[in-house]
Structure 1
C-alpha cells in the first residue's frame, strides 16, 4: 500500500465519522449481534407453494426486550442484486432465546435463490427502539417435483445448475456494486481516482478487507498490478476509497484495460471471501 492511498483513506474516514455515529454503531452491534436465522439453512430446497420454517435464535447481549415484528421474502438475481419480493408476515412475536414463523412460498415463485429478512424490534424504556435486520441463508426454490420409479424425489430444475443457483450467492456474496470507476473511463498515470462501493441494505456482505488493482490484456485472465487498500472496515451502505494511480511502469499498457477487485467477508459464513469487480477502464501513460 502506498502512503498516498493510506493518507487519503484515513482522511476520508475521519471526515465521514462522527462520535454519534460510532456510538450508534456500537449500540447496534450490542443489540443485534446475538441474533441469527439458522433456518432455512444453505442446503434447503423448496417447491413453489410449499411451506418454509423460519427459526430465529437470540443470545442476549443486553437487557432490551426483543420482538419479531416482520418477515420479508427476497430473491437474488443472476447479476447478484437483491430484490424485495413481498412482506410475508407482520405482527408481534416475543423473542427471548428462540422463536419461529412458518411461511407458504407463493405458488408463482420462479426457480432461483431466495432468502428471508427478519425484523426484530428492541424495546428501550418501554418505547419502540432500533430494529435489527437479520437474514436467513440463501435457499433454492424449484417450480415442481415428483417421485420417480425408484422412490426418489426429482425436481423440475437441476439443483446443481449454477446458472440458476449460483454457489457464490448461496454463501452470501451478493448485493454489492462498484459504481465507480465507470465503464471505459480514462485516467492518466498519476491521477487520483475514487472507488465507490454501494452495498444494498439486505446484502449479506459484511466487512471490507481489500481493494486491488488488476489489468486485463487481450481478453486474458486478469493480472494483479498492486494492492490499493487493505484493512477491516464495516461497509455500511457505502464506502469510498481515494486511490492515487501511481503504478510500476511495466504495468502501463495502452492495449490493457484495468479494474478494481474488492474483497469482503460474508455474515453467513466466517470462512467465506467474497469478491466483486468494477467495470473495466483505461490508464494512459503520463507522456
Structure 2
C-alpha cells in the first residue's frame, strides 16, 4: 500500500486569502508535527541490497498520542524525482519518545540513493488531528560488497560516484519540478507569466525563498522573494516588464528552496522560453 497525503489547494501569491491559507496550514503542521525526526538511517549509512537496516523515529513528548502506521521505501531517480519502491510495513506502533523498525532492502534494487517515508497519526482528547509525514535522510544502497586482500571493505560501486549518489539529492534537493513556463513558449513584454512549481509530497524541499529570471547564465530580474512552505503546488504570476528584450535569447526561471535535511539552498530551473516585443 502506498501512503499519500491529501493535496491542499494551490498557493497563488496574488491573493491575500492564499497567504492566510498557507500560514494556517503551515502553523497547524508545525504544531502537530514539530519535534518529530527520523534519525536513522543517516546520510552516511551504506546498505548492501538484500541486507537489513533500521529506521528510527524520535519525538518530543507532548499531550498528543502519536502512532506510526505506515512505512514506505523510496528511491531518488537520476533526474531528481521521488520514486515509490514499496510499502515496508503497516500497523500501529506507539511512538513514545523513540521507535525503531527493521527493514530488509530488496535484493533486486539498483544502486543509488534511497530513503524511508514514515506516516504518523495524531490523537489528542479522543480527536484525530492531521497526519504527519517524515522522511529519513537519503542513504546509499550498493549491489554488493567484499573484503579485499588487505582486509578493507569494498563495494561494487564507488560511493563517490556522483552519477549514482548525487550530492544535491543527498542534501534533499529533489522531488520538485518547475512545470510552467513550458519549453519553447513565447511571451510578450508587459505580459503576466504563470510560474508553477509542483512538489512531490515525499520531497525533502521545504520553503520557497526566491524566484529569479535569467537570460542564459545572466540574472535579469528577481521576480519574488519570501518564505512560503507548500505541499503540492506553488503558483506565481510575474509581470514581465523589462527594459532590454533580446528576442533571440533563451530565458528561464530559477526557483530557490530550502531543504529540510541540510543547511542548503536548492535550485530548480524552468524550461527555456522566448520573449518578444
Q: What is the aligned partner in structure 1 of residue 57 from structure 2? A: 56
**Which whole-Å CA distance do the structure 2 matches of 1:127 and 1:40 have between them?**
32
Specify the SS of the correspondent of 1:29.
helix
Residue 18 of structure 1: how far off its partner (Å): 5.2
**Which whole-Å CA distance do the structure 1 matches of 2:53 and 2:127 have between them?**
32
**Which whole-Å CA distance do the structure 1 matches of 2:275 and 2:256 have between them?**
22
Residue 236 of structure 1: how far off its partner (Å): 2.1
Per-residue CA deviation, residues 215-265 of structure 1 (Å, 9 max, x unaligned), is: 11xxxxx1111101001111221110000111231xx21221000000000
Specify the SS of the correspondent of 1:242.
strand
If the length of structure 2 is used for normalisation, what is the TM-score? 0.92
**Which whole-Å CA distance do the structure 2 matches of 1:45 and 1:136 have between them?**
14
Residue 10 of structure 1: how far off its partner (Å): 8.2
Q: What is the aligned partner in structure 2 of residue 3 from structure 1? A: none
Q: Does 1:254 align with 2:247?
A: yes
Matches within 5 A, 1:66-77: 66-77=66-77
Count matched residues.
267
Q: 1:277 aligns with which of 241, 247, 269?
A: 269
What is the RMSD computed on CA atoms of the aligned residues?
A: 1.6
**Which whole-Å CA distance do the structure 1 matches of 2:137 and 2:42 have between them?**
5
Specify the SS of the correspondent of 1:83.
strand
Q: Is the Cα contact below 8 Å between 2:32 and 2:129 reproduced in 1?
A: no
**Which whole-Å CA distance do the structure 1 matches of 2:250 and 2:24 have between them?**
42
Per-residue CA deviation, residues 30-54 of structure 1 (Å, 9 max, x unaligned), is: 1101100011111111100001111
Q: What is the aligned partner in structure 2 of residue 99 from structure 1? A: 99
Specify the SS of the correspondent of 1:12.
coil
Q: What is the aligned partner in structure 1 of residue 48 from structure 2? A: 47
Q: What is the aligned partner in structure 2 of residue 4 from structure 1? A: none
Per-residue CA deviation, residues 170-215 of structure 1 (Å, 9 max, x unaligned), is: 0000000111000000011111101001011000000000000001
Specify whether residues 46 and 13 from structure 1 end up closer, same or farther in structure 2 by C-alpha distance, changes over 3 A only: farther
Gaps of 5+ in 1: 1-8, 217-221
Residue 94 of structure 1: how far off its partner (Å): 1.1
Residue 22 of structure 1: how far off its partner (Å): 4.6
Q: Does 1:157 align with 2:157?
A: yes
Gaps of 5+ in 2: 1-10
Q: What is the aligned partner in structure 1 of residue 33 from structure 2? A: 32
Specify the SS of the correspondent of 1:31.
helix
Q: 2:219 aligns with which of 215, 218, 224?
A: 224
Larger helix percent:
1
If the length of structure 1 is used for normalisation, what is the TM-score? 0.89
Q: What is the aligned partner in structure 1 of residue 18 from structure 2? A: 16
Q: What is the aligned partner in structure 1 of residue 130 from structure 2? A: 130
Q: What is the aligned partner in structure 2 of residue 236 from structure 1? A: 231
Q: What is the aligned partner in structure 1 of residue 119 from structure 2? A: 119
Q: Does 1:214 align with 2:196?
A: no
Matches within 5 A, 1:136-215: 136-215=136-215
